[in-house]
Amino acid sequence: DQQVKQNSPSLSVQEGRISILNCDYTNSMFDYFLWYKKYPAEGPTFLISISSIKDKNEDGRFTVFLNKSAKHLSLHIVPSQPGDSAVYFCAATYTDKLIFGTGTRLQVFP
Amino acid sequence: GAVVSQHPSRVICKSGTSVKIECRSLDFQATTMFWYRQFPKQSLMLMATSNEGSKATYEQGVEKDKFLINHASLTLSTLTVTSAHPEDSSFYICSASYSYNEKLFFGSGTQLSVL
């Protein structure tokens, strides 16, 4: 049972536009959510996180939105840059477990 | 989709003992495996990158003599926590990829508790 789902395996966006990556979860016990970015042949690196008591967290070009009633999480990147091209993983945690989605490959083209 | 199996899912051990965690790619050959450590509500910390047939590359601040990594085959990597202490208690997770540009597949993680 996939508790954290990223239903879009890939996304292509033009440079300067907004990239929106989505993530759905099923477990209402999750209380903290994270986004990771992964370049080829590297491990994922932490990008941004949000606590379940908030509905928005912003850090520069990156904003994460949380809709608890819909059990939906999204990452907005604006403006998108070619260097943002990578695979993005969302993850959710409660107690001591960290569960990842399967990732979405973002390609930002000029 | 590709499956990565991590075992055990939970281990409790006494201080001073060694613990081995296995990470297996079940339906693909993983040229690269990554080991991470995560503390509650903190971001995942990459510990080391393991390439089949060669020595692991450790991140800065990770003691390679304490966290022994072996990637002896294309489907198995192991992490051994030697002489574990309570401060080593954490959630350890592995991930694997099978080519340079492919997505990463994660194991289910191991919760280590050192008493």
| B41 contact residues in A (CB cutoff 8 A) | 32, 93
Give the per-residue pLDDT at A18: 98
* Confidence class for position B2, pLDDT limits 50, 70, 90: low
Tell me what the mean pLDDT of segment B42-65 comes to.
83
Among A1-5, B9-13, B32-36, the range with the most confident prediction by mean pLDDT is: B9-13
CB A64 within 8 A of CB A57: yes
User: A51 to chain B, minimum CA–CA distance in Å?
Assistant: 9
DSSP B102: P
The yes-or-no verdict on residue B48 having pLDDT over 70 is: yes
Please tell me which of the candidates B36, B100, B111 has its beta carbon nearest to residue A41: B100
* pLDDT per residue as tens digits for the range B56-107: 889 888 999 999 998 888 899 999 999 999 999 988 989 887 665 456 677 8
Going residue by residue through chain A, which has 110 residues, state the pLDDT in tens, using 9 for 90 and above.
568 889 898 999 999 999 999 999 998 989 889 898 887 756 677 799 899 999 999 999 999 999 999 999 999 999 999 999 998 999 887 765 667 887 899 999 99
B34 interfaces chain A, CB cutoff of 8 Å:
yes
Distance CA B82, CA B33 (A): 20
Checking DSSP bridges between strand B4-7 and strand B19-25, what pairing results, if any? antiparallel
| Positive or negative torsion for Cα A102, B68, B45, A68 | positive
User: B43 to chain A, minimum CA–CA distance in Å?
Assistant: 6
